[in-house]
Structure 1
């Protein structure tokens, strides 16, 4: 019998400025399990003022921390304060409605089917500019502790209004910084 090599095979691509290939090795991939989430599946987090209604569609634990997916039902005129994520990329998928995204000072108008990608460290925000509730799906890569962060925001919102100062007190524990007002 032939002995298996102890080497880990890497899958992925080489990126400029990165050491080694980007991607997950076979051992990492073996740890994640296939997953299917049906509608309206997921844990629902509804904030007291109704401005934010999040659904955790795929928690980070289900992907071994590779990513986490959320759904956000956003009332007209609502959206988060300008912020950045130190350790995570964020990808937005517009499902329903019209949204404006500001990504590093550039305004983008988006509708159903549009996708916006925000690399880690880039200041961004969005706003529902439609007349009705809109719906976004968004993904953090890697997952980090995004679910815990949203739960902490929700718990704080039940006690007091979420000011920029209050949000930063919470966000600093999760690699996020709020830098300005909403759009």
Structure 2
């Protein structure tokens, strides 16, 4: 059969992920649900639902070299640090954080925060979250192991002496 160079081949490869669907990880302080994975998107996009209970830290100040990150606040008030500035992000807030932009996020309130986190490209981010699940559930947390995981998945703490996402 001769290849057709002139017509598009249409295929249905869509994924519809309903509320409460997706693989869910419970970390020591947060919950992550995989909505669109690296495998689904050919490593182009990762969409994750994050639940931060009261006073939980999602991530301390860090940056990425090869991916951009977008935050969409769905419920509660998210505290975001971008560079040296801190912002209160209410529901409906969209924060686009391009690569090489130091950022961190946490819940400073007594109410749960829910947000959608988007990575582009996704850089197999599910491996990072699964590694976090393992690392943050160890007692004590091993900082060298944590940093190795961070670096493998394109995350670089601004201050390695203050990188573990736990309140002191």
Shorter-normalised TM-score: what interval?
0.7 to 0.9
**Does 2:21 correspond to 1:45?**
no
Task: Work out the CA distance in 2 between the residues paired with 1:69 and 1:137.
Answer: 7
Cα root mean square deviation, aligned:
2.3
- Provide the TM-score with structure 1 as the length reference: 0.77
State how 1:80-95 maps to structure 2 within 5 Å. Answer: 80-95=59-74
State how 1:86-165 maps to structure 2 within 5 Å. Answer: 86-162=65-141, 164-165=143-144
Q: Which runs of 5+ in 2 are unaligned?
A: none
Question: Per-residue CA shift, 1:43-74, capped at 9, x if unaligned?
Answer: 11101x3x111111111111111100001110
User: Whose radius of gyration is greater, 1 or 2?
Assistant: 1
The question of whether the paired residues in 1 share the 8 Å contact of 2:60 and 2:104 is answered with yes
Where does residue 56 of structure 1 map in the other structure?
34
Where does residue 158 of structure 2 map in the other structure?
179
- Provide the TM-score with structure 2 as the length reference: 0.83
Cα distance, 1:163 vs structure 2: 5.6
Where does residue 22 of structure 1 map in the other structure?
none
Where does residue 70 of structure 1 map in the other structure?
48
Relative contact order higher in (CA < 8 Å, ≥ 6 apart) = 2
Cα distance, 1:97 vs structure 2: 0.4
How many residues get paired?
157
Per the alignment, do residues 105 and 164 of structure 1 end up closer, same or farther by CA in structure 2, a change over 3 Å counting? farther
Q: Which runs of 5+ in 1 are unaligned?
A: 6-25
